Amino acid sequence: MQAMSVQRKKIHPHKYSLWIAMGSISMMFIGFTSAYVVKRAQANWLAFELPHIFWISTAVILVSSGTIQMAVKQFKERNMRRYKQLITITALLGVVFAACQCFGFAQMSNHGLPLSGPVSASFIYVIVGVHMLHVLGGVVALLIMFARAYRTRVRVYSPVPIEVASLYWHFVDALWIYLLIFLSIAR
């Protein structure tokens, strides 16, 4: 027991693991976007404009990054009521984001760009879809945090879980910005 505490610690191992996981997830999207670049350089590439609703989802996810940051702050100040409100809002914004993306998919397929259509469209579905799953993963994490905050028997004072969650949230946000810029420029 004592020996455990002499072990050296600079950065919390969970945060560390998250940083590495973020590198890993980034590689996956680098894989997708490089496949996109390779494919785009070949013949028969159909360019089209991204659904406009993607701009709304961008705004939504940017706001949610703000709310989760505030949630971390409230947690540290032990304003648990505000904290619970803020993570609920963040999770809701995450769901709204996903809904917007799905709406975008519907718009695309209504405009003659279904999933099985031109490769350029298929790529949008897959890349945006996989990103959306990562956001929803974050929503699930927030729901767990929410449930934890309601437990009365066990109280959590360590800010690490919410810090890890917010780091992840900012990451999927940044990832979306990257994808949006990439997909808008490399059409």
Partner 1 sequence: MSNDATLHSHQQELTHGAVAHDDHGNGHEHHHEDSFISKYVFSMDHKMIAKQFLITGIIWAIIGAGFSVIFRLQLAFPDTAFPWLETILGHWAKGGRITPEAYYALVTMHGTILVFFVLTAGLSGTFSNLLIPLQVGARDMASPFMNMLSYWFFFLASMVMMASLFVQTGPASGGWTAYPPLSALGDASIGSRIGMDLWLTSMALFVVSQLLGGLNYISTILNMRTKGMSMTRMPLPIWSFFFTAVLGVLSFPVLLSGFILLLFDRHAGTSFYLSELFVAGKALSNEGGSAILYQHLFWFLGHPEVYIIILPAMGMVSEVLAVNSRKPIFGYLAMVGSLFAIAILAFLVWAHHMFVTGLNPFLGAFFVLLTLLIAVPSAIKVFNWITTIWKGNIRFTPGALFSIGFVSTFISGGLTGIWLGNSSIDIHLHDTYFVIAHFHIVMGVSAFFGMFAGIYHWFPKMYSRYMNNTLGYIHFWITLVGAYCIFWPMHYEGMAGMPRRYYDYSSWESFKQFVELNKFISIVVVAVFATQLLFVFNFFYSIFKGRKLTTTNPWNATTLEWTTPIHPGHGNWPGEIPEVHRWPYDYSKDGKDFIPQTVPVSPDESKH
Q: Which residues bind partner 1 (CB under 8 A)?
A: 1-14, 16-17, 20-21, 23-25, 27-32, 34-35, 38-39, 42-45, 115-116, 118-119, 122-123, 126, 130, 154-160
- Residues 134, 98 contacting (CB under 8 angstroms): no
CA-closest candidate to residue 59, choices 185, 175, 166, 173: 173
Q: How far is the CB of 122 from partner 1 (least distance, A)?
A: 4
**What minimum distance in Å lies between the beta carbon of 34 and partner 1?**
8
Whether the CB-CB separation of 18 and 12 falls below 8 Å is answered with: no
Least Å from the CB of residue 89 to partner 1: 26
* Token pair 């945090």 in the structure block, residue: 145
Least Å distance between CB 1 and partner 1?
7
Of residues 25 and 135, the one with the C-beta less far from partner 1:
25
Nearest-Å Rg of the Cα atoms of the chain is 19
User: For residue 58, which of 155, 174, 187, 153 has the smallest C-alpha distance?
Assistant: 174
Report the residue number, 89 or 104, with the smaller CB distance to partner 1: 104
Q: Which is nearer to partner 1, 45 or 95 (CB)?
A: 45
Residue pair 94/139 in contact (Cβ under 8 Å)? The answer is yes
Amino acid at 22: M
Q: 25 or 61, CB closer to partner 1?
A: 25
